Structure 1
Amino acid sequence: MSQSGKSGLSKSLILKGLQCQKALWLAKNPPAFDFPTQPDLEARFAAGTKVGILAQQLFPGGTEVPYEGLSFPAQLTRTRELIDNGTQVIYEASFSFSAIFVKVDILVKDGDQWQIYEVKMGTGVKSVNLDDVAVQQYVLNGCGLSVSKAFLVHINNSYVRQGGIEVGRLFHAEEISAKVCARQQSLPEIMREFRQTMAEHHEPKVDIGPHCTDPYACDYIPYCWQHIPENSVFALRGNGLKKFDYYQRGLIRFEDLPLADLNPAQQQQVEATLKQQDFIDPLKVKAFIDSLWYPLCHLDFESFNTPIPKFDGTRPYQQVPFQYSIHVQSTAGAKPQHFEYLARPNIDPRRELIEQLLTVIPENACILTYNQTFEKGVLRNLADLFPDLAQAINLRLPNLRDLMALFRRRDVYRWRMHGSYSIKEVLPAMVPELSYAEMEIADGMAASQAYHEMCRLDDPLALAELRKAMLAYCALDTLAMVKILETLLNID
């Protein structure tokens, strides 16, 4: 096994290069640019690591070659020692061939050959996964190891947890040997091309394009896209427009776009932005307001989903509610009364949550949501889970109304919404004194990550501060509905 130096390649670099060779060059030559933090990406990496460790139980008793604490040469040496000593299962086996370094999630002895198991937290096989395993097999073959079979281990999202995690049911190992072999022949030429790219002294001239987000959003989008103005063709909402075609023709800014090519919603977005115009259909707003009644309960749930189900009766990636906020107005114009719930760490919250919710929301109340599809889905799942509460839940389901519908249909549109009907854009456009901008937790993804952080914390003070931030965020979601509705009621 040869060793790869600083100028060598790795599996992740190769996959980056297959997506964009400019990204490959930038990875080796980081630009002087202030990149924003990516907490979502960090959370995904952490979840992926947890999934990978759990998948090792598919082949128990193996030996790991750790990444942390060992240099690359030491990892290669340790792997060779394990192979020479007859180890049957190796986790994170390390190899280098032609200055390409790879680690194999799970390597299993198969007679005189070996089987590769690559673990992913998705629910199926993607094209990029085949490239991933093809690089591994190419390197292993170069090191003198014969690969009999290759598998992609992914999440089985039909598995329902009951008791401890059943690893054999949570994961599905799909053989991809033939597809991987088909990708082997082109790899030597690809490697030569990538090495030439990395040897260049100047940044490759690769323009932005669909490859920037296919198969993944590239780390360097903020750098490569900095020439794109705020109000550009890419800021248009909706489908039906090949945006890169317009970009390549130099039609980038809103001012450049031929309105006749756009759908009505896009035309409205462009014209409203350029003229700083707002729009409202008073008859449709009145019809919506007339569909509401009191008591009026403004409701919002927060939920998490994970590849490894956390509680009994849940599936991978199932939305599990852990928090709600409700602002209740007994009569029109009444000061709202606030109720809230936030789960205790590491305890299935669903029974407690729905029991408390049912005491707060009267059977005859109107329930206002922002995206009722989500809230209805949560309530229906809870009704299925708790048959003794199903009647009480189902009595309330017909009472849900959706404030988002007004903005999705563009019955109300303000140019500062930037074509979006997300409450994060609608709130500051409708109620300028309120915004999510300064919130410690500012969106649903961050709230979900905060839940998992809450479950890990041991420090009582840190836990109290985090819970305070979580409650403040969810409370703003329902206060936002109160204030947006108030604005609509006061529009002449």
Structure 2
Amino acid sequence: MSNLITKVNKETFKMAMKECIKKAWIWDNKQNFAKAVKWKKDKIFELDIDGSLEDEKEFSKSAESIDLFSAYLNMDSMDEIEKEEFLEQWNNAWESETGFDPELFAGETIEDGNAFGSKVKEYFNMVNILANEKRKIKKQTADLEEYKFVEAEIKTKELLASNNYEYIYEAAFSFDEEKIRTRCDVLKIKENKHVEIIEAKATTKVKAEHFFDLMYQVYVLEKCGFIVDDICIAKINSDYIMNSDLVITEKTFGHQAKKFIANLGKITYEEIKDFVNSDFTVEYDKEPIEVDLMKLVQLDYLTYGTDKKRVTLKQDLKDFKENFNLDEIFMNISKYLAIGKEENEIPEFMHNKKCTLSFKKNKKLGWNYAMNYSNYDDCFHVMNWFDKNEPGFWHITGFPRANKSHVIRNSKSPYFKDYESIFEQSVVLDAKGQSFFEKNHTAKRLFEVYNLKKQYPNDETKWRVIDFDNIEFINEFLNTYKKFPIYMYDFETAKWAIPRFNLVNTYYQTPFQYSIDVIVDENYDYKKPETMHHYSFLSNQQETDPRIKFMENFIKDCFKHGPGIYVAYNKSFEQGVLRKLAMLFPKYAKPLAYIIQNTVDLMDFFKSDKNTGRPSFLIYHPNFKGSFSIKKTQPSLDPNFSYNDLVINKGDKASETFRKFVDGRIPQAAWDLKVQEGMLKYCDRDTLAMVVILKKVKELVEEQNG
């Protein structure tokens, strides 16, 4: 291997191999990032390179792909505490020994990663103790986490030379004058420079980026003369429920909870009437909270993917190396990273239409460059600048970003305003020579509404905000809301990688807050709160399980005006939370099941359903910009009502705030004095926003019918 032109850190390597060299170049260092920010400001490139969420069960319902560019450019709009926290996290991320990882800005990823990393060390300490009981020559473990890289590398060599250690945590290695260097979460030491690498990941499954992470580590260690016998991911066992005898026999915890509710059958109000109207109390669990490491930590030697016959990570790496030369790959990445050092220089490869260098694995064909598996100009990470706020192809919900990239790059304009039809010849066709949008109802609907707005800019009644071709669905939904009382409810939840309370598993969505607005007749008005009834709950104790009082108060409040219709926004989330509560606390299963079985979804006005054939956006306003989010739908229907005046104005912010409180990072006094008021206002605003949507939809239909 020739010497690399410039350093290639692990995070940059992973990003280049899994996603895109353009994205990797931007996140490689602060100078490149600053250039990218300038390109965006100067309208040279549009960028889509932030952290993305892949597994919904590991994130809260309101978590989104964090827009680091927006956050970075709008720091002045943050309060001083938020700004200080953001800058500390931002600067620490750039100083990471392995490179900047934008995924660490998604929720509480850093804390969860560190917490699980500590548990993995405890796990292997225990493994080593058990092994020592069976062998004459006792082995030790060593943790180099507190050492800086150069010191850790020296210490690693000393420990390896001593031959007294079985496991080294955060062992450090480098090659080519530190142009490539790595730390190993857990290094198992064997004889004659043979080792095994265990990478700790606070996740429940092996992912593609984990494979490339291990690929990088193996490459560095082999260059240093080591023989890597095996590699694996230490992950979290999602079936482990803290201090519970419950055995997960279904596909997931959630599937088992769903089956539990189904087995209860249809619950009638008469079955639960006496109980819900009694002054019952949910008792706290008094068992100590103790994590069973042997059940929590799971070693996975199989590679990523859904194939039941997945090969091992070691075999997958062997297959890759048989087809591609890693020396050449590292050199190519190094060459790309060396480009663009001049102040105003724009690297030519930023104009590439495909994601150069990244790799994908095909079940039949094996490993290949990702661009060889695509017929499209599919790089959406860096594109010629266009205004994402202008209605166009980028707003088409459910249309893959790779396809959006191809259409925008190869059609005359990214904007709807420049077309009479999305089927005209200037809109590029798919690989089969057919329109991308022939069977795409959402695309047709968005274009239809925008086109009518263009024709009648001052007459909203002609925009077909209501999809009259599918009015039967709208009427069916509105008939549901003629029954009273109507309980509009919303939850806030928090999650931890390491179970925080008894009877939870990893990333369990722990409910800590709710808001309920009750509509008792047709005379309700969201501008007059006295026309409705409101109930709310927020857990205010740091050391107790918030579910206990949440459940007790929620059940009581949900029947204060008798049985009714229960309404959530994206009901699958709330129903999922309630199903798990019912299974884990069977004494309260029937009233919870009654609420689950009688919950309808306000989002049905906007989201499609394949089972019933209901298309998306029965109600669509141009200001939705293709989104179902209540933060878009409600302000579009009534712009005078928004979240802008709230200190806490997003669900993920509420979740992180409560987690900080429970973990002791927000003192009780500060919570009582300042924080809890903002938390209550946010959750209350969510249910009031639901009332706004229902009222405005009713008014729209009545106006059109009139």
- The answer (yes or no) to whether the contact 1:104–1:117 under 8 Å persists in 2 is yes
- The answer (yes or no) to whether the contact 1:454–1:467 under 8 Å persists in 2 is no
For normalisation by structure 1, the TM-score amounts to: 0.89
SS at match of 2:627: coil
Distance 1:22 1:412 in 2: 38
- The answer (yes or no) to whether the contact 1:454–1:466 under 8 Å persists in 2 is no
Distance 2:649 2:385 in 1: 24
SS at match of 2:350: coil
Distance 1:454 1:207, change over 3 A: farther
Structure 1 residue aligned with 2:494? 304
Distance 1:421 1:55 in 2: 40
User: Gaps spanning 5+ residues in structure 1: where?
Assistant: none
Distance 1:354 1:225, change over 3 A: farther
Structure 1 residue aligned with 2:268? none
Structure 1 residue aligned with 2:22? 22
AA aligned opposite 2:314:
S
Q: Deviations over 1:347-396 (max 9, x none)?
A: 21222111111211224122122122222222222222222222222333
Q: Give the RMSD, CA atoms, in angstroms.
A: 2.9
Structure 1 residue aligned with 2:119? 54
Is the deviation greater in 476-485 or in 18-27?
A: 18-27
Q: Deviations over 1:114-141 (max 9, x none)?
A: 1100111222222332221121111112
- The answer (yes or no) to whether the contact 2:5–2:338 under 8 Å persists in 1 is no
Structure 2 residue aligned with 1:488? 697
Structure 1 residue aligned with 2:327? 188
Is the deviation greater in 386-395 or in 225-234?
A: 225-234
Structure 1 residue aligned with 2:254? none
Equivalences for residues 414-453 of structure 1 within 5 A? 414-453=621-660
Structure 2 residue aligned with 1:347? 544
- The answer (yes or no) to whether the contact 2:487–2:565 under 8 Å persists in 1 is yes
SS at match of 1:151: strand
The answer on 1:471 being equivalent to 2:680 is yes
Distance 1:207 1:342, change over 3 A: farther
User: Gaps spanning 5+ residues in structure 2: where?
Assistant: 39-68, 73-85, 87-104, 126-139, 244-288, 302-312, 360-378, 424-434, 454-462, 525-530, 608-615
Is the deviation greater in 198-207 or in 84-93?
A: 198-207
Equivalences for residues 75-474 of structure 1 within 5 A? 75-86=152-163, 87-98=165-176, 99-112=179-192, 113-162=194-243, 163-175=289-301, 176-184=313-321, 186-201=325-340, 202=345, 203-207=347-351, 211=355, 226-230=385-389, 231-239=391-399, 242-251=403-412, 252-256=414-418, 258-260=421-423, 261=435, 262=437, 263-276=440-453, 277-280=463-466, 281=468, 284-292=473-481, 293-334=483-524, 335-343=531-539, 344-362=541-559, 363-408=562-607, 409-455=616-662, 456-464=664-672, 465-474=674-683
Shift of 1:150: 1.2
Distance 2:547 2:633 in 1: 30
SS at match of 1:133: helix
Distance 1:442 1:224, change over 3 A: farther
Q: Deviations over 1:200-232 (max 9, x none)?
A: 2442423476759x99xxxx9887674354333
Q: Deviations over 1:69-95 (max 9, x none)?
A: 62x322211221222233321111111
Distance 1:6 1:103 in 2: 22
Distance 2:495 2:691 in 1: 28
Determine what percentage of the aligned residue pairs are the same residue.
25
Distance 2:641 2:20 in 1: 41
Structure 2 residue aligned with 1:11? 10
Distance 2:464 2:71 in 1: 34
Distance 1:165 1:224, change over 3 A: farther
The answer on 1:44 being equivalent to 2:112 is no
AA aligned opposite 2:465:
F
- The answer (yes or no) to whether the contact 1:297–1:368 under 8 Å persists in 2 is yes
Q: Deviations over 1:137-186 (max 9, x none)?
A: 11112212222211112222112111421222222212222223344462
**Across the two proteins, how many residue pairs are aligned to each other?**
482
Distance 1:290 1:178, change over 3 A: closer
AA aligned opposite 1:365:
G
Shift of 1:466: 2.6
Distance 2:659 2:509 in 1: 14
1:65 equivalent among 136, 139, 144 = 144
- The answer (yes or no) to whether the contact 1:326–1:340 under 8 Å persists in 2 is yes
Q: Deviations over 1:276-325 (max 9, x none)?
A: 32422466544423322222211111123333222222122332212110
Distance 1:232 1:286, change over 3 A: closer
- The answer (yes or no) to whether the contact 1:9–1:100 under 8 Å persists in 2 is yes
SS at match of 1:331: coil
Q: Deviations over 1:34-84 (max 9, x none)?
A: 7333874363233222222221122116322226x62x3222112212222
- The answer (yes or no) to whether the contact 1:22–1:204 under 8 Å persists in 2 is no
Is the deviation greater in 141-150 or in 268-277?
A: 268-277
Distance 2:298 2:173 in 1: 26
Structure 1 residue aligned with 2:77? none
- The answer (yes or no) to whether the contact 1:134–1:181 under 8 Å persists in 2 is no
- The answer (yes or no) to whether the contact 1:302–1:474 under 8 Å persists in 2 is yes
Distance 2:589 2:497 in 1: 27
AA aligned opposite 2:398:
G
Structure 1 residue aligned with 2:47? none
Distance 1:159 1:423, change over 3 A: same
Shift of 1:100: 0.5
SS at match of 1:88: strand
For normalisation by structure 2, the TM-score amounts to: 0.63
Distance 1:158 1:232 in 2: 43
Distance 1:401 1:190, change over 3 A: same
Distance 1:223 1:393 in 2: 47
Q: Deviations over 1:5-41 (max 9, x none)?
A: 9942221122233232233433244234273338743
Q: Deviations over 1:240-285 (max 9, x none)?
A: 8932331231342223565234222211212312433242246654
Distance 2:634 2:348 in 1: 42
Structure 1 residue aligned with 2:46? none
